[in-house]
Amino acid sequence: MIFIIAAAVIFLDQLTKFIVTKSLILNQQISVIKGIFSLTLVHNRGAAFGILKNQVPLFVFTSIIAVGLIYSELKNKGNRTVYSIALSLILAGALGNLIDRVFFGYVIDFLDFHVWPVFNVADSAITIGAVLLGVSLLKKKD
């Protein structure tokens, strides 16, 4: 089940990025909910919040290491726990953004809530996975 979740997230991430890149030009913004949410095509050449711009080899290397470690952990503990689901979401998000970096040299972002930097489905999966991971680790301490 965890690999189905990861595959579904990667597919959705890449599909949405494909649709957005075919529908918008760079930095074009289409308002979905006026003043709250837009689709805005951005090429993120850095890490979270655009830090460490143009460090593609560093990002690719660290992503590959992270993917390997997460995959190893999932292989050893592959079950349906919140912990495993969290790791599968983080794995999928890392792979989705890694695909962009390898093929384009940047990450395609497009979800724009105007109060937060523009992000994508992979970033959302990483964030949700990190929250679930934190919850699962806190529950284990009880």
User: For the segment 17-39, what is each residue's pLDDT rounded down to a tens digit?
Assistant: 999 999 999 999 999 999 999 99
Q: Helices marked H in the chain — which ranges?
A: 2-23, 56-77, 82-104, 121-141
Structural domain boundaries of the chain?
A: 2-141
Contact 102, 94 (CB under 8 A): no
Question: pLDDT digit string (tens) for 100-109?
Answer: 999 999 999 9
Is residue 120 within 8 Å of residue 108, measured between CB atoms? yes
Closest by CA position to 91, among listed 73, 106, 117: 73
Residue scoring higher pLDDT (51 or 87): 87
pLDDT single digits (tens) 75-100: 877 666 889 999 999 999 999 999 99
| Residues belonging to the active site | 109, 123
Would you say the pTM of this structure is higher than 0.85?
A: yes
